[in-house]
Amino acid sequence: MSGHSTWPEWVYIGVVVALLVWVGAESWNVERLIDHVPADAEVIKVTGQQWFWTFEHPDGTKEIGELHLQKGKPYKFEITSKDVIHSFNIPDYVVLQDAVPGRINIVWFVPKDTGEFPIQCREYCGLIHYNMRGTLYVEDTA
Amino acid sequence: MVLEIQKPRPIWQIMFSTHHTDVGLLYLITSLAGLFMGGALALTIRLELFLPGSQIIADSMTFNRIFTVHGTTLIFLFILPFASAIGNYLIPIMVRYKDMAYPKLNAIAFWMIPPGFALVWLGFADFGWTAYAPYSVISAPGPAADMWIFGLKILGVSSILGAINFIVTILKCKHPDLPLSKIPLLAWAYLTSSLIMIVAMPTFAAALLMLLTDRLGVSGFFNPARGGDPIAYQHLFWFTFHPEVYVLVIPAIGFMYEIIPRFSRKPIFSHGSGVAAFILLSIVSFASWAHHMYATGMSFTEKTVFMVGTLAAVPASAMHVFNFLATMWGGRIRFATPMMWSVGGIALFFSAGAGGVVNTAMPLDFITHDSYWVVGHFHLFVMGTIAFGSFGFLYYIFPYVTGRMYNEKWGNIHFIVSFIGAVMVFFTQHVLGLYGMPRRIFDYPPFPEWVAMNQFASIGAMLLGIGAAIFLVNMIYSAAKGKEANMDDPWGIGGKYYYPYQQKNPHH
């Protein structure tokens, strides 16, 4: 119609599609591995409510706003909420999962370094959302 | 022709008119009011976040209300009415018809906006523009929340009426000699975005009603305490509002399709590829809504499906970018103000799209989700692409609306200041998100990186504010006292790339 060649556009679209396929395949592969919770992971029950986090260890001990874990061990969080939706987040370990009332969501991780790491709420939950914070303490097993 | 300034009329003649340019002018003024009001709230937010602790906002509730009304205003009371304004001015001319298909419906659609505007602003709700349940059901204080729900209901109906009018005007009222394939790409943009609107919007209308009855306590759709599912609200919400993103961005791309060929003094590289990309976008826009919800506990399969659906939208957007660049390639480009805004908008559109690919890649989303990355990402679309395209088009259509020229030098300065400001705010916000800062927080701990980046972003926001002030003065002054425009060729582009809207409309 307009007399110019269209092959550059097809090449360009081909490159874009190839890049997207690569991104998609790589994400699929990584997410597939992340989705698999290790069998020996210790279960921590996480409950969000306006505006603090409660953590329950397998032995029944509860912590509020603080979470003490041991370095190198896999942990599985079972996350829920008592009121509105919150989002449990440890940014340094890319732990992020919504706390939804009536549901239990699962996320797992292995703390690799000792130290203190911030815990925060990543989903807007009202008045004190900005300060719904806690601290993760990772301690050495030895 | 319009030429309001040269032929003054009493204001009620414009207000009670059903003529498409009069309704267009009403839409335009309303949308600019929305822009400046929503923008003022944005500057307030950025000032508050300049330092940790409370700066200029006394408490978090006020802050939460401000970011809610900021988002609601700029989406529903700036971007959508602005697109309707331009559509009203140009669509009848582009399809060579005397007016919109249903002039009275057109006026009704406009006059639903002021009550919606008033409800949103008088209520000043606090649940974010997304109004996620169950917060919006059990926790958000009324009557603000209920006023927001009613306001959005009215604005949604107004959008649907406007969309019906555009579709009928384009499909049924176009001149018989004009085949659909030959209508300008801007008209194609309005056709596709209106179709998306009609399919998407009723879902949100339903969700709003369910939200209202939940709040009244007569139902429990989204309230887990009564057996409901809060995630269902998110599905209904995003089924409307992910396609809605394309409703917002497609007209802005259409604006660029008007401006870029004319100021490059070349025809569009490929009209067909532009049409194909619009149609593709309007279809795949419905395949990606739940990519907003990866972290709600979705299964691996669900996440994969919506990742693929999201990635599918990228080639179509990339076709538009290619079309723009190929049109400019080898052209004798005239960098007048509208062209600057369009080129800047394309650059930020590309950046926003690249960031979007990162968001949808499943493992990476858990880094970016609900962080400032996302804030930066969608602002690159709504401000960097849509508002930039809209500013450019407003300068472009200024001579048509007023018969006068804006001040070119101050138009350029507005662009340069705003472009630097937008890069400073929104690129910085991406990085801030990678450092873990959540969205919608009134206060933040004084981590040195967070403080530094927030300050940098706030300075950028002030530049955007300065740009907006320049823009306002330029528009008001030039509309009243600007030089008379040469209506055949206001920018002296020459040749056959004349100003297209002068053609005599035989019905006027």
Q: Are B207 and B136 in contact (CB under 8 A)?
A: no
Local structure of residue B261 (DSSP, 8 states) = H
Q: What is the pLDDT of residue B506?
A: 35
ipTM over the 0.90 cut-off: yes
Mean pLDDT of B429-454: 95
Report CB contact under 8 Å: B61, A128: no
- Indicate the domain borders of chain B: 11-502
Q: Are B70 and B121 in contact (CB under 8 A)?
A: no
Judged by a CB distance cut-off of 8 A, whether residue B220 touches chain A is: no
pLDDT at B503 over 50: no
Cα angle vertex B212, ends B210, B213, to 5°?
65
Report CB contact under 8 Å: A91, B363: no
pLDDT in tens, B381-403: 999 999 999 999 999 999 888 88
What residues of A are in contact with residue B314 (Cβ under 8 Å)? 16, 20
CA B321 from chain center: how many Å? 18
| Average pLDDT along chain B | 92
Q: Which residues contact A37 (CB under 8 A, 6 or more apart)?
A: A74, A76, A106, A108
What residues of B are in contact with residue A3 (Cβ under 8 Å)? none
Report CB contact under 8 Å: B134, A26: no
Distance in Å, alpha carbon of B133 to nearest chain A alpha carbon? 7
Residue in B128, B315, B443 nearest the CB of A124: B128
Q: Which residues pair with A96 in a beta bridge?
A: A89
CATH of domain B11-502: 1.20.210.10
- Give me B63's structure tokens: 């802050």
- Give me B293's structure tokens: 């919800």
Judged by a CB distance cut-off of 8 A, whether residue B321 touches chain A is: no
Q: Which helix (H) or strand (E) holds A135?
A: strand A134-139
Q: What is the pLDDT of residue B478?
A: 93
Distance in Å, alpha carbon of A20 to nearest chain B alpha carbon? 6
pLDDT in tens, B220-245: 999 999 999 999 999 999 999 999 99
Distance in Å, alpha carbon of A118 to nearest chain B alpha carbon? 10
Q: What is the pLDDT of residue A1?
A: 44
Report CB contact under 8 Å: A125, B231: no
Q: What is the pLDDT of residue B508?
A: 37
pLDDT at B502 over 60: no
Nearest 10 degrees: Cα torsion A35, A41, A43, A44:
-80
pLDDT in tens, A6-21: 788 889 999 999 999 9
Distance in Å, alpha carbon of A30 to nearest chain B alpha carbon? 7
Distance in Å, alpha carbon of B323 to nearest chain A alpha carbon? 8
DSSP string, A73-113: --EEEEEEESSS-EEEEEGGGTEEEEE-BT--EEEEE---S
Residue in B138, B269, B300 nearest the CB of A83: B138
pLDDT at B499 over 60: no
Query: Hey, of B311, B317, B327, B372, which one would you mutate to test binding to chain A, going by the most A CBs within 10 A of its CB?
Result: B311
Q: Which residues contact B105 (CB under 8 A, 6 or more apart)?
A: B161, B164, B165
Report CB contact under 8 Å: A23, B361: yes
Q: What is the pLDDT of residue B222?
A: 95
What residues of B are in contact with residue A35 (Cβ under 8 Å)? 300
Local structure of residue B140 (DSSP, 8 states) = S
Q: pLDDT band for position B504 (50/70/90)?
A: very low
Q: pLDDT tens string for chain A (142 positions)?
A: 455 677 888 899 999 999 999 999 999 999 998 889 999 999 999 999 999 999 999 999 999 999 999 999 999 999 999 999 999 999 999 999 999 999 999 999 999 999 999 999 999 999 999 999 999 999 997 6
Superfamily of domain A42-139: Cupredoxins -  blue copper proteins (2.60.40.420)
Nearest CA among B58, B175, B170, B162 for reference residue B110: B162
Report CB contact under 8 Å: A97, B297: yes
pLDDT in tens, B181-196: 889 999 999 999 999 9
What residues of A are in contact with residue B317 (Cβ under 8 Å)? none
Q: pLDDT band for position B500 (50/70/90)?
A: low
- Give me B2's structure tokens: 């319009």
Distance in Å, alpha carbon of B411 to nearest chain A alpha carbon? 33
pLDDT in tens, B57-101: 989 999 999 999 999 999 999 999 999 999 999 999 889 898 999
Residue in A24, A98, A103 nearest the CB of B307: A24
How crowded is the C-beta side of B359, counted as CA atoms within 13 Å?
A: 28
CA B78 from chain center: how many Å? 7
CA distances, B155 to each of B39, B86, B199, B369, B465 (Å): 20, 18, 16, 28, 27
Task: Provide the whole-model pTM.
Answer: 0.94
Report CB contact under 8 Å: B230, A101: yes
Q: pLDDT band for position B495 (50/70/90)?
A: low
Distance in Å, alpha carbon of A124 to nearest chain B alpha carbon? 6
Q: What is the pLDDT of residue A122?
A: 94
Q: What is the pLDDT of residue B497?
A: 52
What residues of B are in contact with residue A134 (Cβ under 8 Å)? none
Judged by phi (left if over 0) then psi (alpha if -120 to 50, else beta), residue B128 lies in: left
What residues of B are in contact with residue A122 (Cβ under 8 Å)? 295, 369-371, 438-439
Report CB contact under 8 Å: B60, A130: yes
Q: pLDDT band for position B343 (50/70/90)?
A: very high
Distance in Å, alpha carbon of B212 to nearest chain A alpha carbon? 17
Cα angle vertex B109, ends B33, B276, to 5°?
90
What residues of B are in contact with residue A92 (Cβ under 8 Å)? 436
Report CB contact under 8 Å: A122, B314: no
A108/A89 Cα distance (integer angstroms): 12
